[in-house]
A and B are shown apart, each in its own frame.
Chain A
Amino acid sequence: MIDGLLLGFYALMTLDVILALFLGIAIGYIVGALPGLTSSVGMAVLLPFTFSMDPVAAMVMLVAIYVAGDYAAAIPAILVNAPGQPAAAITAFDGFPMRMNGEAGKALTLSILGSGFGAFTSTLLLIVSAAGLAHIALSFGPAEYFALSLLGLALVTSLASGSMTRAVIGLVIGLMIVTIGLDPVSGTQRYVFHRGLLEGVPFLPALIGLFALSEVFMMLERSLKSSGERIHSLPSPWKSMSMIYPFGKTMGRSSIIGFLIGVVPGAGATIASLVSYSVAKRLSKKPETFGSGNPEGVVASETANNAAGPGALAPLLSLGIPGSASAAILIGALMIHGINPGPMLFARNPEIPYAIFVSLLIGLPMMMLIGLLGARFWVQITRLNPALIATVVTSICLLGSYTYDNNILSVWVAVVAGILGYVLRKLDIHPAPIILALVLGSMMESNLRRGLRVSGDEFSYFISQPVSAIILFCAFAVFILPLGQSLISVFRDRKPIQDTR
């Protein structure tokens, strides 16, 4: 591992990669601080800029956007009660009341310090776990990969916030899209209505449309107000360190919660943030103060939220399974650069995962410093005109879609995916399960068919392998248990329906 980290350090010590790291942090902060834009949207929009970059620099930049975007999402949550990411909504529970009590500076400082601690601790856990997990996964065959992708899809649907039915619908739409093109095993054309679709629906334009363009259409509906808050006194970076001491236990606990939940595909930062907040409230001596401006609520939520980010990278780098929508975008970025994510990544391109680890270790303290020193600037960003943001994002989305393969079809795919994403959002169907299905769907089908070919069409092959049998059992349980509970409540107890919107 030490050799790997040294390799990552050398890979990072080039001007291109360091510039990419700084640029990623700055863009991530800007994207996160803009209400309505998430780090996933920022990564999707900026992915086309990485086409001609060195893969290490590209991945370092995207990971920096991912982490810094999660950091900065607390800024609009605290100042204007408009979270930059869904997970930051939990931060707003206490952050916004703190701002109303005139403690905006303290809330922002605590959120930045908590975020930094959570992400750093989680990165250390990621480094320890990912390489080991990848080593184990080297022995995996089609049965294990089929089972893993099935588990990923089951977790995505059952852990998705809101209704399970809607998450399943998102998933099947993604799976339908993924079947367009040549069949991965026999080469049969499926749903190919245009020659450009022979290789399938282009991933990046679909991603841009579903995430970024649909978000722009949603933005057109809203009239976001800029923050009226002016921060007159922010604690200095050095003095603010003392502010965090009373929350040491909360940060430690929340970091572990965040990492563990982040590792589970589909669970993500929102659940991590919510669980950590609930635990902090339950263990607090003054639980009644939570929700009315308790700084511990801000720390618990932000620490877990940011710890979940590096946690989601563990299954991505070691198994090629995305833990979140942002992780799915990172997988897309790796594929665009001709790199196969999964256990072989550590064997074939070790500089990439280790450069990501080192960039996080170096970048996180920088992010904290930039966050603390530039707080006033990030506050100004929340005041940018949403109409301006919508116009710039749309123009870049359309341009980025075209540059994916210099084909007008990609622009069409982005526009159609954008309209589809907007309609689905109105129906409360989030695009994240669609994107995860785009990544996991083809993996599932090709491994199922390879497994059957190897075993001579014996389905028992998948349960005769101990690892795949355990994973398949987990997938079955994860999918069936909540479904069974819903049905029992509907038919027996006549309790309110589980189809929450």
Chain B
Amino acid sequence: MSTSTPGEKETPNEKKEWYIALRSETADLIAASILILGSSWYIIQAMGFPTRGSAWVQAHTFPIGIGILAILSAIALGFFAIRRILTRQRLEVIEIHKPLIVFFGLVCTLAYAMVLNWLGFYLTSAIFTMVFGYVAGIRKLWALFALTLGFLAFTKLIFEMTLGTPLPTGAW
């Protein structure tokens, strides 16, 4: 069983690209374990739903059925992964290229959701567009400014003025 390993690749312009590699079998086993745990919790929660009337199918019946199906499919995923390891078939690798960029991209979107109500739409979007654009690979400052201004003007024109959508103004 391999664990997460960083790798390096030669790109055509001779730059070494850093990436994270994880054996697909390991990833499948982790996913299967998470799914089994999550589904067990899901079933336990469903068992606590109140029963109403004498109907055979209650509010908890459908979720319990789904939970059992989820556990069975997770077992199948884990089984296939173990079999691939044992028989050395299809040893594939999941690669996450540019992991830092992906990580910062995820953080940017999470931060957007966190501060939207506090900073308001326009300020949040201005900061988000600039930062996310830079993280994505736009390095020219004028391009970032132009993109941000263009997006904010578009939002004002289409959403606020034309569609009449109220956007968050911020807590301050």
Contact = CB atoms under 8 A, between A and B. Distances in A.
Interface of A: 49, 51-52, 163, 165-166, 168-169, 172-173, 175-176, 179, 183, 185-186, 188, 190-191, 213, 216-217, 220-223, 385-388, 390-392, 394-395, 398-399, 402-403, 406, 408, 411-412, 415, 418-419, 422, 426-428, 445, 448-449, 452-453, 457, 490, 496-497, 499-501
A426 B138 contact: no
Given A176-B70, A190-B63, A403-B165, 20 more contacts: A49-B163, A176-B42, A185-B59, A190-B59, A191-B42, A217-B105, A220-B105, A221-B101, A386-B136, A390-B132, A391-B132, A391-B138, A402-B167, A411-B112, A419-B109, A449-B55, A457-B55, A496-B89, A497-B90, A499-B84
B117 interface: yes
Contact of A426 (B27, B57, B63): B27
B141 interface: no
Given A176-B66, A399-B155, A168 B73 contact: yes
Contacts of A406: 165-166
B85 to A, nearest CB: 11
**Interface hub of B113, B129, B132, B138 (most chain A Cβ within 10 A):** B113
Given A188-B49, A190-B59, A399-B155, A497 B84 contact: yes
A169 B81 CA distance: 15
A392 B27 CA distance: 31
Complex A-B, nearest 9 residue pairs according to Cβ-Cβ distance, in ascending order: A387-B137, A188-B59, A499-B80, A387-B136, A183-B59, A172-B70, A221-B97, A391-B133, A457-B56
A467 B83 CA distance: 41
A334 to B, nearest CB: 19
Main secondary structure of the interface of A (DSSP, over half): helix
Contact of B106 (A163, A419, A457): A419
B76 A165 contact: yes
Given A165-B73, A190-B49, A385-B138, A52 B147 contact: no
A165 B49 CA distance: 29
A426 B96 contact: yes
A190 B66 CA distance: 14
B133 A387 contact: yes
12 contacts: A179-B63, A190-B63, A391-B129, A391-B133, A399-B155, A402-B116, A406-B165, A415-B109, A427-B28, A497-B84, A501-B24, A501-B90
Main secondary structure of the interface of B (DSSP, over half): helix
B158 interface: yes
Given A217-B105, A220-B136, A408 B69 contact: no
Nearest to A213: B109
B112 A398 contact: yes
Given A418-B109, A501-B24, A501-B90, A168 B69 contact: yes
Contact of A186 (B52, B77, B89, B90): B52
Nearest to B117: A408
Contacts of B143: 388
Interface of B: 24, 27-28, 31, 35, 39, 42, 45-46, 49-50, 52-53, 55-59, 62-63, 66-67, 69-70, 73-74, 76-77, 80, 83-84, 87, 89-90, 92, 94, 96-98, 101-102, 105-106, 109-110, 112-113, 116-117, 121, 125, 128-129, 132-133, 135-138, 143, 147, 151, 155, 158-159, 163-168
Nearest to A391: B133
Nearest to B130: A391
B168 A222 contact: no
A390 B134 CA distance: 11
A163 B31 CA distance: 15
A391 B89 contact: no
B128 A398 contact: yes
Nearest to B128: A395
Nearest to B132: A391
A216 B55 CA distance: 46
A86 B98 CA distance: 23
B53 to A, nearest CB: 7
B27 to A, nearest CB: 6
Given A165-B80, A176-B70, A395-B129, A415 B112 contact: yes
